[in-house]
Structure 1
Amino acid sequence: MSPVVVVSGANKGIGYEVSKKLIADGAKVVMTDKDQSRLEEAASELEPFGAVKLDTTSEDSVKLAKQEIKLLSPLIDVLINNAGVAHHSESFELKKAELTVGTNYYGTKRATKAL
């Protein structure tokens, strides 16, 4: 059986390319991202097993995504936590720092625990 792989942040960049490679290798990939329209565009190009909106900074979004993913497959073999943000700034900005930690640390933790 092909493994079921959930990839967060899959609408572009590393997440997109990882999804593309896994699909080519025969995995059942569920692409996820917080940007629904860009996720749909990427999914139309790659034709994954599934595409589910997932904003790792939102507990409600994670719960809903979990339910949608479970409808596709009751078991997940691999979770690739790729969703993340990076801000480049000369000055410290609290809101950007909070978003970065909220996404890169807590978002990863939240998605891992739920899925």
Structure 2
Amino acid sequence: MITVEFKDFEDMMGFARNLVSTVETKDKPPVQQAAPATTPPVQQMAPVTPPPVQQAPVQTAAPSYTADDLARAAMTLMDSGRQGDLINLLAQFGTEALTQLPQEQYGAFATALRGLGAPI
């Protein structure tokens, strides 16, 4: 067994530094100076252009509505107490009842219903 005594903390740290440096130099091979590395010439690269952005297809045809679609939307107006607004809207389209509305006016009528707050 080896016993080591130190007079203070600095004495112990000096011993530890000396011990570490002795161990490090023993385990490491001698350092050789390497020749300075030469930097290869920089190659110019062509600019990278990002690929074109794919856009979502745009709906070109107007949605088609059925008489049932219009009736369901009109019912929500009636259920909310807006029968007068619905009657005025039908009058604007020249009819007194939804069943008399020409099919070619379904899209415009649906848009008008939506304007009144009906979900369609």
**TM-score relative to the length of structure 1:** 0.20
Richer in strand (by share): 1
Q: With CA pairs under 8 Å and 6+ residues apart, which has the higher RCO, 1 or 2? A: 1
Rg larger in structure: 2
**TM-score relative to the length of structure 2:** 0.20
